[in-house]
Each structure stands twice: as structure tokens, then as C-alpha cells.
Copies of this chain bind each other. A is one copy, B any other.
Amino acid sequence: MIIMKATAKANTNIALIKYWGKRDETLFLPMNSSLSITLDHFNTITTVEFCKSFDKDIFLLNNLPASDKESNKVFRFLDKVRNLAGVNLHAVVSSENKVPTAAGFASSASGFAALAAAAAKALDLELNTKEISILARQGSGSACRSVYGGYVEWKKGIQEDGKDSFASQLLSEQDWKISILSVLVAGEQKKVSSREGMKRTVETSPFYAGWLQTVEKDLEDAKEAIMSREFEKLGHVVEANALKMHATMLGAKPPVLYWQSGTMDVIHHIQYLRLTGIPVFFTIDAGSNVKVLCLPKDEAIVYESLLTLPTVQKVFICHPGSGITYLE
């Protein structure tokens, strides 16, 4: 029995300039370019095995059969890889997801990056990193950024087929070490998925045009700050960009509000710390948790002070991490 098998590991990433809105729902083509840091914790390790003898696809998540909804996303993605390879083999996909829901990070970024890499390698597709990025994007948009380590830009591209919509590395994880603290706040689980929030914003918010008008400039400013290692310049643009993304949602019909009271507590605390002279900034994804950026020298004091807030439940500390690695 011939089994075509590969295992890959990918880290999740945190967007500094946000991806918000699709121009193509099937190919996961974004309305705007974005920029992220791939993190050194919270990864997914995925093994893909193709075999002629398998009569159906199977997806195991943390050694258990995944839900139909999650399985179907994986199977539709396998179809794209099979298409590329011109084969018609079923697969067993086994993922170990080390992105705890509690950490407030999406696991789809690391999940589809690892799956794209492992599936392509199992079928001997010999894709380069750019091609893996394009493939991963078709599972989950932000996954195309997790293919690379460090500081990563995802250029939106303009082609209809998405061949020019992929990520590339700006700086490696060794080039500039900063600290990213993921702050988990009390409150309810989010009621509107990112996918739905994004869609509703694009379709109904009168502010979406303003977002698109300014986000590419934000990205240029952030890139400049990263290339010249200007932390404060980066922090200000990152914070403003996150607030703008949330503002676009407040204009949607009906409005989308992801913030909880703890979100405000952390925001005001960060602004207070900044008044005391510590260069520290925040960003917020489509949810209530806050990600805090600071310099490694201030990491301990920022960590300790965040834990004093009654609405803060947990704080995870990360740093820039690597892109895809192949195991075995």
C-alpha cells in the first residue's frame, strides 16, 4: 500500500494592518493589503496522507473526528490541492491544534497554512513558498501570511484568478524582536463570526469606502516603521488602523460591536501606561480580546500591570516566530 504523506507545522499570526473585507468569497481575495507578525507560539501541526485505498476523506482534529462543518472546509480545500496535482485520491488529515481558543487567536491561519504545505508536499507538488501562500489563502485569507516567519505583507493583488494575491516577508523573526501580549478579557463569546462581520461591513457600512481610502497608506507607514525599526511610529499606525476597522463595523446594518467592558479597560490602561512613558500600543481583531505590543525590555512590567485589571483573565506573551517548517 503506497501512502503519500507529509507533515508541516505553521504558526498563527497577528495582523498589524487588518485584512477586512473580501472582493471574492470563493478565492478569498481581499479588498485591501495587510501586514502581520507570525508568532512563536500557537501553531498547528498537520499530517496529510493520500492513498488509493482510502474511499473517503477523514479529518481528525486533536485526534478526534472534527465536526461536519470543519471537516467540509478541509475537504473542499483538499479538492483544490487535488485539482492542482491532477489526482483523485482521498486523504486522512490529522491536525494537532496548539492555538487554544482561549488565547484569542484564530486557528484558521495556522491551520490552513500547515494543511496547504503538508498536502502539497504529500502530493510532491514542489510548490515554492509563494505558491504555498496562494494555496493557503484559498483556505482562509490570513493563512497566506502564516507561510512566512517574522513580519509579513499580504499584497491584495488585482487579478481575478488571485495569482498575484500572496504574502511575502518584510523582516525575519530574528531581525527585530518585539513583544506581543494577547490579553484575554472577561465577557461573552462573539456572536457574529469574522466572516459574517466582514461581509456585512462591505455590503452595508457607509464607512467602508473611507477604510479602503486610508488602509493602503497605513500599510505604507507601517512598512516604513518596520524597515527602520521605529517602534512608536509603528504602534501609532497599528492602533489607529485597528480602531478604524472596528469603526467600519459600527456603521454596518445592523451594527457589529465586538468590544466588551474589558476591551475598554485594556485600551485605557495601555493609554495610561503610555502617559507614564512606556511605549506600548494595542490592536484588536474581530473579537473582544486585545493584543498589546511593547518592547522586550518593557514586557515584564506591561504583563504584570495588565494582570492587575479585574476584567483581564489571562495574558499570553509571544514574539515573532518562524514560517512553515516540515517535520519528519
The residues of A with any CB-CB pair to B shorter than 8 Å are 187-188, 205-211, 213-214, 236, 239-240, 243-244, 246-248, 250-251, 253-255, 257, 259-265, 267-268, 311
**Bound complex: CA A35 to CA B214 (Å):** 31
Nearest 8 pairs between A and B by C-beta?
Answer: A206-B210, A261-B261, A247-B250, A247-B247, A207-B207, A261-B264, A243-B250, A207-B210
In the complex, the answer to whether B240 meets A255 with C-beta atoms within 8 Å is: yes
Known: A207-B207, A210-B205. A264 touches B263 (CB 8 A): yes
**Bound complex: CA A210 to CA B214 (Å):** 14
Among the interface residues A250, A255, A261, which one has the most CB atoms of the partner chain B within 10 A? A261
In the complex, the answer to whether A251 meets B255 with C-beta atoms within 8 Å is: no
Contact of A247 among B187, B209, B251, B260 (CB under 8 A): B251
**Bound complex: CA A208 to CA B254 (Å):** 19
In the complex, the answer to whether B210 meets A311 with C-beta atoms within 8 Å is: no
In the complex, the answer to whether A210 meets B261 with C-beta atoms within 8 Å is: no
**Bound complex: CA A268 to CA B185 (Å):** 15
Closest B residue by C-beta to A271: B257
**Bound complex: CA A244 to CA B204 (Å):** 12
Closest B residue by C-beta to A261: B261
**Bound complex: CA A123 to CA B267 (Å):** 52
Shortest beta-carbon distance, A207 to chain B, in Å?
4
In the complex, the answer to whether A251 meets B261 with C-beta atoms within 8 Å is: no
Among the interface residues A187, A239, A259, which one has the most CB atoms of the partner chain B within 10 A? A259
